[in-house]
Structure 1
Amino acid sequence: MEIKVTVKQLGRKHPVLSEQKLEIRYDDSRISLEDLLKLIVQQQVEAFNAQSFELEDTDYTKIPSENYLNILTDTGKAGFGSIYNEKKANLQKAQENATQAFEDGMFAVFYNDGQLEHLSETIDLGLEHTFTFIRLTFLAGSYW
């Protein structure tokens, strides 16, 4: 089944990632939020583990292309596609981390315009609305 996902970060005018379509292995039209998160994590882990790790004998300068520079200035993060950690992601651990992060309020999930607040909530995927994931950041500091 194909779902539409947008990832945003609060305080940004534009989403960090634009809307994208993810293919998850699920046939029913109704699913719990917990199961959906696990399926999305499974798809992402499989995509990450499928990437090839190329070890380079020499270090050379990598210059980003012109259209990539705009993305770098918007997000404030420079990445050149190199993967330095050769370990494969652990699916079970990643799924546990995702559900724990949701329970701890590290990110919020919206379906259409409604916020999903509990892992047991049932979602109707037949409506084909867009999921929005918002990464929440906490303010640092103390009060006196």
Structure 2
Amino acid sequence: MNINISVKQLGKKHPVLQEKSISLDTSDSVVSVRTFLELIVKHQVELFHASSFEWEDEDTIHLPKENYLPILTDTGKVGFGAVYNHNKVDIAKAQENAIVAFEDGLYALFQGDDQLESLNHEIDLSQNKSITFIRLTFLAGSYW
């Protein structure tokens, strides 16, 4: 099932990620928020594992690839596209972290203009409404 996702942060004018279409491993058109988060995390972990750095792929001359300039213009970010992390992510632990973060209010989830506040809330993915993750930033300080 294809869905459109956007990631935003409070206080920022532009989204952290442009709206992106991803394909989830489900045939159900109605899923709970908990199941939706688990599917998103599974998809992202699989992407991370696919793009992780392999020892035999080490680039010793560090030349940019031929598609480097379009990536720069699209993202505005300089990088060589490799993830130099040799650790594999445990999908179950990552899913649990995402659920706990949602319960703790570290990010908000919207389907179209409707905020999804409960893990048991049902999401109808067949409506083709954009799903938006908003990262909430808390002020930190101390009383001196």
Normalised by the length of structure 1, the TM-score is 0.84
Q: What is the SS of the residue equivalent to 2:18? A: strand
Match of 1:71 in 2: 75
Q: Deviations over 1:42-61 (max 9, x none)?
A: 11111111225244374647
Following TM superposition, where does structure 1 have runs of at least 4 consecutive aligned residues deviating by more than 4 angstroms?
59-64
Q: What is the SS of the residue equivalent to 1:98? A: helix
How many corresponding residue pairs? 140
Match of 2:18 in 1: 18
Deviation, structure 1 residue 71: 3.4
In the alignment, structure 1 residue 141 sits paired with structure 2 residue 134: no
Code of the aligned partner of 1:38: E
CA contact (8 A) 2:4 2:130 kept: yes
Deviation, structure 1 residue 26: 1.2
Q: Deviations over 1:74-133 (max 9, x none)?
A: xxx654323221112110011001001101111100001011111111111121100000
Residues of 1 paired with 2:69 and 2:59: CA distance?
A: 23
Match of 1:47 in 2: 47
Q: Deviations over 1:16-66 (max 9, x none)?
A: 110011111111221100000000111111111122524437464769637
Code of the aligned partner of 1:65: L
CA contact (8 A) 2:108 2:136 kept: yes
Show structure 1 runs of 5+ residues with no match.
none
Match of 1:33 in 2: 33
Same amino acid, percent of matched pairs? 51
Is 105-114 or 56-65 further displaced after alignment? 56-65
Is 52-61 or 134-143 further displaced after alignment? 52-61
Normalised by the length of structure 2, the TM-score is 0.84
Taking only aligned residues, the RMSD between alpha carbons, in angstroms, comes to 2.3
Match of 1:83 in 2: 83
CA contact (8 A) 2:32 2:122 kept: yes
Residues of 2 paired with 1:78 and 1:104: CA distance?
A: 33
